[in-house]
Homo-oligomer: A and B are copies of this chain.
């Protein structure tokens, strides 16, 4: 169910991105608020960050963190083009989907790589599935903002 919700929100973001023009994507979601391209890059970086946390290998685009996670929007840092970001989004999602589909059910309840074995013993909810649950809520939070890029 949690994986299914993750997929649903990924598809909703993809669908929204595909319907927005480049002009709409570079616009602010609301006056003075984050732009669409910043939030899109932010979601890619956060999803990319899931890869090592769940033990799926190395991140594909760790360089995105600088402009999209460690810095706020309008930092002046260079951003990839929208086309590049769309490519990154698809690559990250394909990699995650491949690994997720092969993951045995009980492994979801094992420790993720950002929690120590000692802490996990005391906090067994800090497992792999919990990462997916939290990241889905994070994605839906920003999706709610990104839909404001659509024409009224």
Q: How far, in whole Å, are A32 and B127 apart by their CA atoms in the complex?
A: 41
Binary per-residue interface labels of chain A (121-152) against chain B in the complex, 1 for a CB within 8 Å, 0 otherwise: 00001010110011011101111110010001
**This chain: how many copies in the complex?**
2
| Interface status of A114 (Cβ within 8 A of chain B) | no
Residues of B within 8 Å of A144, CB to CB, are 140-145
> In the complex, which residue of chain B has the Cβ closest to the Cβ of A136?
B137
Return chain B residues, CB-CB under 8 Å to A140.
Answer: 137-138, 140-141, 144
Digit string of A3-25 for contact with B (CB within 8 Å is 1, else 0)?
01100010000000000000000
The reply on A76 being an interface residue by CB < 8 A is no
A2 near B4 with CB under 8 A, answer no
